[in-house]
Amino acid sequence: MSEADGPTDYARHETRAAQLDRNWNEILQEIRVLQTGSQIVAAFLIVLPFQSRFEILDAFQVGWYLGLLVLALLIVALLLAPVSMHRSLFRRRVKDDIVTASNRIVKLALVMLGLLLAGVVLLIFDVVVGRGAGIAAGAVLLTIVLCLQVVYPRVMVARS
C-alpha cells in the first residue's frame, strides 16, 4: 500500500518556532491567492458605474451593486491586515498571536469572498436575464460555495 492509499504519520518533529514560521508562510500563500481574486472582482465592480449600461439598473440593482462594492473593498482591506500586523509587530515575539489572528482573518475573508461571488452572480443574472434567474443563480452558487467551504472539509475530517 502506498502512502497515498491510507493514513500517514503527519508528525513533523519541528520546534514551535519552525511550526509558526511554516504556518505563517502557508497563510501568506493563501492570502496571495485570495488577494488576486478579490482585487480582480473589486476592480470589476469599481469600473462598473462608468459603463453605459449602468444607467439602466433599477434601485434594487444599484443598492445591491453598492453593497457588493463595499464587501469587495472590505475583503481587500481585510486581506491586508495580516501583513500589516506582521510588520507592526515584527520582532516583538508575538508570532503565535499573529498566526492565530491571521488564520481567523483568512477564514473570514473566504466566507466573505463566497458571499461576494454569489452576490455578483445574482447581480449579473438579474441584469441580463431577470430577478428570478438572478436569485436562483446566486443561491446555486452560494450553495456550491458552502458545500466546498463547509461540508466537504467536514466530510474529509470524518473520513480520516
Q: Taking 90 as the threshold, does the pLDDT of residue 145 lie above it?
A: yes
Domain boundaries, the chain: 16-159
Residue 101 contacts residue 82 (beta carbons within 8 Å): yes
- pTM score, two decimals? 0.86
Burial of 61 (0-12, 13-18, 19+ CB in 10 A): middle
Residue 111 C-alpha cell reads as 466566507
pLDDT reported for residue 160: 86
pLDDT reported for residue 122: 99
Say how far apart CA 17 and CA 29 lie, in whole Å: 18
Residue 126 contacts residue 50 (beta carbons within 8 Å): no
Element (H, E) at 145: helix 131-146
Mean pLDDT of the chain: 92
The predicted-structure confidence for 61-87, as pLDDT tens digits, reads as follows: 999 999 999 999 999 999 999 999 988
